[in-house]
Amino acid sequence: MGDVEKDYRRDAIRQLFILVGGCTRATPPQVPDFPYTFKGEMRLQALDFWVRYPDYLADEILSQFEQSSDPEMLVAAREIFAADEPDVRRMPMMRKYYGAYEPLDTSLAILKSRGLVLPRTRKTSRGTNVRDFLLSEKAFETCAAVVENFPLMNWYRERIALVLRIADNRGGKALKDRQHEQKEYHDAQVGDTIPTIAQRVKMRLDRMGNTR
């Protein structure tokens, strides 16, 4: 039971860093003391996937490098493999009907109980319900305190900044659609974990290194 609880806390911290990194300030706030909004549960899931699968993130970085020729992109992809992140940082996600998915209720309940995040459901123009997340100032203070007390956790802050840069303000559906373009991701059976593509991406990176 203790291990399960620890995993939920780990998920809650990681998701808090994503929510803080990807939110915007609402003026006026929807709810007093919660002035920031992160839009879309699907967006949270898609960003979380790239945090948890460094190999898929590296492949997307390489695709953007091919379009932009930004040398920072190539450096970022190389650093992911130099640190063996596809092995040591990968946290598998399960394939559900619409792609990589993991229930968020338990980890979000941890954040809600501490006054950090407040889930809110809204209706879109199409009449469908989507879930957004309101954040308090305390959410930002908590992330800062985590990094101060556990400097290794700064990896989450830096990685999520990179993921958000690669996401480039795309919404959840656009990000999911992009991830589905990976054959291994799309063809995974419902109930199976999304497989790694590290070997294929490393070969792609090596080819780029030899030609640039």
Question: What total number of domains does the chain contain?
Answer: 1
Query: What mean pLDDT comes out for the span 128-141?
Result: 94
**Residue 3 pLDDT grade (very low, low, confident, very high; cuts 50, 70, 90):** very low
Residue among 5, 68, 34 nearest 13 (CA): 5
Q: Which two tokens stand for residue 89?
A: 């940082």
* Other CB atoms within 10 Å distance of the CB of residue 161: 13
Write the DSSP assignment of 57-125 as a string of letters: HHHHHHHHHHHH--HHHHHHHHHHHHTTHHHHT----EEETTEEE---HHHHHHHHHTTSEEEEEEE-T
| Lowest pLDDT segment from 61-75, 85-99, 195-209 | 85-99
Alpha carbons 22 and 1: distance in angstroms, whole number: 32
Confidence class for position 97, pLDDT limits 50, 70, 90 = low
φ/ψ region of 99 (left if φ > 0, alpha if ψ in -120 to 50, else beta) reads: left
pLDDT at 203 over 80: yes
Pick the more confident residue, 9 or 136: 136
Say if residue 2's pLDDT is above 50: no
Side chain identity at residue 43, one-letter code: R
Does residue 28 have a cis peptide bond before it, meaning omega lies within 30 degrees of 0?
A: yes
This prediction has a pTM of 0.91
pLDDT of residue 109: 94
Chain position carrying tokens 């300030």:
25
Q: 83-119: buried (b, 16+ CB within 10 Å) or exposed (e) per residue?
A: eebbeebbeebebeeebbbbebeebbebbeeeebbbb
- Given a contact cutoff of 8 angstroms between Cβ atoms, the answer to whether 132 and 39 are in contact is yes
Domain that holds residue 118: 2-211
Indicate the pLDDT class of residue 200, thresholds 50, 70 and 90.
Answer: very high
> How far, in Å, CA of 2 to CA of 58, rounded?
33
- Per-residue pLDDT band for 11 (boundaries 50, 70, 90) equals very high
Strands 117-123 and 129-135: antiparallel
Mean pLDDT, range 121-141, rounded to an integer: 88
Q: Is residue 160 scored above 90 in pLDDT?
A: yes
How confident is the model at residue 100, as a pLDDT?
Answer: 72
Instruction: Report phi then psi at 145, rounded to 5.
Output: -70, -40
Query: What does the pLDDT read at residue 27?
Result: 85
